[in-house]
Amino acid sequence: MVKPEPKHHPNKRDLIDAAGAATTVDAAAVEQRLQAGTFFWLDLTGPVEDDLALLRDVFHFHPLALEDAEHFGQRPKLDEYEDFSFLVVYGASAEAAHPVEVHCFLSSHFLVTVHRTDVPAFDWIRGRYAREPVKTEDAALLLFQIVDALVDSFFPMLSELDDRIDALEDAVIKKPDDKQLQEIFAMKRTLVVQRKVVTPQRDVFARLSSGVVELPGMSAESQRYFANVYDHLVRISDLVDTYRDLLTGAMDVYLSTVSNRLNDVMKRLTIVATIFMPLGWLTGFFGQNFAFLVGHIQGWESFVFFGLGSELVVVVLMLILFRRRGWL
């Protein structure tokens, strides 16, 4: 199951039919339109118990479809019943880790959409059908516009993710830090969530565009529109997989860069420690107060020549040796 959206949006009902947007949306208004047989679109935002009762007692949907509509976090799917089809479809939201989930009930006389949070992409569709009459033959076309708006909402999110990955790769090469690693993991989790909904949704519309399953009121012309949705989902799926590979590559670059910097630091420290090893031996050896040293090295000139001079010669010889070996 897909991780559900974190919170509910305030309950709201919108109904649009041939006369435009309805001012009163209750069980009586819905029952009247069902009896008249005129096509209408009912949009339920933040469904509560009254909305679920409306679906159960007025529309008389199948209990399995009602159960799926009540529990969000469903896998994208298309179920066919005797007089309607039930579709679960996803779109991007402001919180990339929580895609917006929309449940659609479609028949030749109505379209019912149920979602927990508000969907900005629906505002344009509501505005269009509030100005133009909704016809029965527009059933599949209206569903296409809803699905197309949800699917296309992934593109801006993925475009922003692409820019973030480019900036992250440049930053990792310049100066890697823990924040970049945390951002890589966060973006990978986001892509995992997107992949969980995009891949099965692509499979659903592959069946729909190929004619394996059909929607109420669907024609050969409307099937071409859903084939376009499938094409967009294929592109989105490819982008998700590509960005996952890029993030994996960015993580490899991060680990490699950190490892190389650590090796460089260890090499420098090792060189310093290796240089001081013979210096420590020299100072310890000449600090044993041999009779010759005590009797002959009494001035500072002799101390500088034999003491500091010998240490300087050792350092120079070791640096020459390191450079010849390619360690520097």
Consecutive H or E run containing 111: strand 110-115
Percent over 90 (pLDDT), the chain = 22
| 87 — pLDDT class (breaks 50, 70, 90) | very high
pLDDT of residue 3: 54
Q: Tokens 């344009």: give the residue.
A: 124
Own/partner pairs, 122-125, CB within 8 angstroms, 24+ separation: 122/43, 122/146, 122/149, 124/149, 125/149
Consecutive H or E run containing 12: strand 12-17
Neighbours of 156 (CB within 10 A): 10
| 96 — pLDDT class (breaks 50, 70, 90) | low
The β-bridge relationship of strands 110-115 and 40-45 is: parallel
pTM over 0.85: no
Tell whether the model's pLDDT for residue 239 goes beyond 90. Answer: yes
